[in-house]
Structure 1
Amino acid sequence: MARVMASLLRLNAHFGGRLLTTGVAIAGTFQPYFWLNDHLPPRFDFLTPLDTAIPFLPWTYALYSSFFALLLGAAWLLDGHEYLRMLGAVLLANAVCYLGFFLFTAHYPRPPLDSIPPGFWREQFRQMRASDNAGNTFPSIHVATTLLGALRLRHQRGGALWVLWAVLICLSTLTVKQHYVVDVLGGIGVAWGVHALLFRRPVPALAAPVEARS
């Protein structure tokens, strides 16, 4: 195991290695994701009046899909050790979300493609829906992954902008009608829980007791 970690650290010491690691990790997570989405029938309905009131804004698909770019930003800015820690957190969050997909299977009632004016955005949604079915909603893996990236990037230069970008991506999961409000809350909970578990601050040393006066 030590040799494997040493090899991973050497590989991820440069940006190209981090890109390769990211590609392998994403490819690995796609397999269980698509299997669950293709084989689990819906058993829950999380639709609320708030979900219905949120408008469908096809152009926000640009924000929704930009979370891949946020991961690339993390690969660029974080050093190899920190990036591997973040990627490990993302993989753990994925596993937690898969369990949620299995236990609380729901399918989002996505607007029909015909409701999108012909052109660029309709084609983007057609391609996305051709591979990503309406399931795998709770908790949102999109939100969990995005927030984990932002939580590590907030310490970097322009940290507030990374966080703002992550918030906009999370909101876009609602306006592209991929997720319920409860899915977003669940994704936030997964991200914060995994981050708290894997990125605990060291416990400060206790101050030495003051010696009693003689």
Structure 2
Amino acid sequence: MTPSSLRDPPLSGPQPWLRALGRRCLALWPLKLVGNTVATIGFFPLYFWIMKNAGQPWTLPLTAFDRLIAFWPALLPVYLSLWLYIALPVFLAKDKRELSSFALGCAAMTFISLAVFWFVPTAIPNFTIDATPGTSLHFLKMVDAAGNAFPSLHVSFSVLACVVLARQLRDVAAPMWLRAFNIAWAAAIVYSTMAVRQHVLVDVLGGLALGIGFGLASRPRRSTRAVAVRPEPA
């Protein structure tokens, strides 16, 4: 028997990036669970109250791009997957600082959007679509009416989550396919907002600007400490 045959077999286990993601999920998980649940549930009453009580909405114009987007009701699950997607940066936050940064970004975007919804109410055009009674699409159209259109919070939440998730995945050295999947998921949600006739290009662009702006603002700031420079000897 050769010495090499006496060596222990290589240990098999999760990849380092998977273990790192697992540690991130376990950090502060009770706070994350309660906070995400309260924030999600608390958002909807105020959102629908403003939709019901704001003034007469201005109907947003259709563009040539909107007319190119085919009605695709099969993308409704993708549209609704936002509420799972936006929870991922919360549960992957490594500490209170990262968690607070994302939460404050979402809160600020919500505040700005709700203020616009109240003072400048907008609505999408009345599309003629086949939403058969009893289907999930019909329920969505009955509950989430055409108001509160600009800017699209659905889009801004997706973009902010995508930016933060990209940063988190990069920090744990996640594989490129996972990083690409993150971008593809966010892009699919953005596209679905138009494909299920919940938004048009104008409010999608508004949501993109809001999400990108807060995504850039949420970047961790590097601490700059003053370094004492000794004078060169004469």
What range describes the TM-score normalised by the shorter chain of this pair?
0.7 to 0.9
- Counterparts of residues 22-61 of structure 1 (less than 5 Å): 22-40=36-54, 41-61=56-76
Query: In the alignment, what sits opposite 1:104?
Result: 120
Question: What are the ranges of 5 or more consecutive residues in structure 1 without an aligned counterpart?
Answer: 1-11
Cα shift at 1:213: 8.5
Cα shift at 1:55: 1.0
Q: SS state of the match for residue 128, structure 1?
A: helix
Query: In the alignment, what sits opposite 1:62?
Result: 77
User: Residue 86 of structure 2 contacts residue 161 of structure 2 at CA under 8 Å; is this kept in 1?
Assistant: yes
Q: TM-score, normalised by structure 2?
A: 0.74
Compared CA separation, residues 206 and 184, structure 1 to 2 (3 A): farther
Structure 2 distance, partners of 1:138, 1:28, is 21
46, 60, 72: which one aligns with 2:87? 72
144, 167, 174: which one aligns with 2:156? 144
1:190 aligns with 2:210: yes
Structure 2 distance, partners of 1:99, 1:148, is 19
Cα shift at 1:194: 2.1
Q: TM-score, normalised by structure 1?
A: 0.80
Richer in helix (by share):
1
Question: Which whole-Å deviations, capped at 9, do the CAs of 1:170-207 have from their partners, x for residues lacking one?
Answer: 11111111111011111111112223334353375688
Larger Rg: 2
Question: What are the ranges of 5 or more consecutive residues in structure 2 without an aligned counterpart?
Answer: 1-25
Question: Which whole-Å deviations, capped at 9, do the CAs of 1:95-130 have from their partners, x for residues lacking one?
Answer: 1111222343221124345x24x59xx611122122
Compared CA separation, residues 200 and 13, structure 1 to 2 (3 A): closer
Compared CA separation, residues 13 and 127, structure 1 to 2 (3 A): same
User: Residue 164 of structure 2 contacts residue 215 of structure 2 at CA under 8 Å; is this kept in 1?
Assistant: no
What is the count of residue pairs matched by the alignment?
199
CA RMSD between the two structures = 2.6
Question: Which whole-Å deviations, capped at 9, do the CAs of 1:5-45 have from their partners, x for residues lacking one?
Answer: xxxxxxx9433431221111122222221111112221243
Greater Cα offset, 178-187 or 25-34: 25-34
User: Residue 58 of structure 2 contacts residue 122 of structure 2 at CA under 8 Å; is this kept in 1?
Assistant: yes
Query: In the alignment, what sits opposite 2:136?
Result: 124
Q: SS state of the match for residue 87, structure 2?
A: helix
Cα shift at 1:208: 7.6
1:95 aligns with 2:107: no
Q: SS state of the match for residue 154, structure 1?
A: helix
Query: In the alignment, what sits opposite 1:167?
Result: 187
Structure 2 distance, partners of 1:212, 1:123, is 78
